[in-house]
Amino acid sequence: MAKVNTGRNILIVDDESESAILRAVRRRLEEEGWRTVVVEPEPGYSVGEEFEAAALWSIEQDLPDAVLLDVRFGEHRDDQFRGLGILGEIVERWPKLPILMFTQYAQGPDRETAVRGSLQWDSPVDFIDKLASPDEVVLRLRRLIGTSPESIPIGNNILLDVNARLVYIGAGEDRTAALDIQGMKFEIFRELATSWYRSPGELVAFSRLERYSEGEDPRASLRVRIREIKDAIGKAMNTRFGPSELILNVRDQGYRLVPPK
């Protein structure tokens, strides 16, 4: 899979960064193209205090694109909610830095709810529980960081290049541009891909797509363009996409991208 976030850093602040669950998350983040930096303080008197100091120092030194921050550091009573204290310090000093809190359960203790309530509603802070799949973690981070990627890989064989305004088919050196997908057709495909990249199940309503169609019957015009996009990609991949493949019409409400298997 093509990496789309090269050069972006995610700082991981967790006393169990070598646990299997964290390793799986880190592997998935690296697949995404992010570089993971793990805070590893020298062992000291208090696990929580050491991590707090090391995390703040690390952010100061090398401002990351986002922080993945644990709530609980060790078993000591004072460190049960240490991460919330660290969160407070970070928000105060770097209010725009996206932070994903790694909790036991997202709908967990009242103190987390209280912290959520004490933040500005648009603070780039979110909570996710540690059992969340690595894919979920990636989706949350994408939204927290908020910037649109320069390219979006759709499955293994389709790559949308936002800057070049081209859709590439194939993998590696065999990759070629599908030149039939340009102009309005590219915009339609970009809308669908961007929405899918942000949240795989999100439908793009007709009202949003019809601005890229024209004529007396924009819905019919849109239908034709969608068919042309599917045919162009199918031709380049030596296949033909059926009604429920690649771009799906959902109960006459809009369209949704379904990456080919």
Partner 1 sequence: MNRLLTSFKIGGGVIALGGVVSLVLAPLIGEKVFDFLWVLEPLTYIGGALIVAGLGVAVASYAVAERQNRSIQGLNGQYAGNSWSETTLQYFQPFDHDLGRPLRRIAGKERELRAVMRAAPGVADPGVIDLLDEIERQTPNFRLMMSNIQVLIQLESPDKDEPLQPVEPTEVVRRIADLYTAVAVEAGKEITWWSEPAELGLVYANSNAIEHIVTNLVDNAVRYAGTHVEVKLTKNPSHFFVRVWDDGPGIAQQYLQHLFDRGWTPEVVQREEKSSSGLGLFIARSLARRMGGDLTVESDNSADGDHHTAFMLSLPSNLTAPLNGLR
Q: Of 158, 81, 146, give the one whose Cα is nearest residue 115.
A: 81
Q: Tell me the pairing of strands 35-38 and 9-13.
A: parallel
Shortest reach from residue 134's CB to partner 1, in Å = 7
* Residue from 104, 148, 156, 176 in contact with partner 1 (CB under 8 A): 104
In whole angstroms, how close is the CB of 161 to partner 1 at the nearest point? 25
| Nearer of residues 23 and 219 to partner 1, judged by Cβ | 23
Taking the least distance from each CB to partner 1, the nearer of 230 and 232 is 230
- 206 burial (CB, 10 Å; 0-12 / 13-18 / 19+) is middle
The DSSP secondary-structure symbol of 107 reads T
DSSP 8-state symbol, 180: T
Binder among 2, 41, 123, 129 for partner 1 (CB under 8 A): 129
Applying CB under 8 A, does 135 fall inside the site for partner 1? Answer: yes
184, containing H or E segment: helix 183-198
Segment interacting with partner 1 (CB under 8 A) among 20-28, 90-98, 156-164, 227-235: 20-28
Closer to partner 1 by CB, 107 or 147: give it: 107
Least CB distance from residue 181 to partner 1, whole Å?
Answer: 23
Say which residue the tokens 């922080």 belong to.
Answer: 67
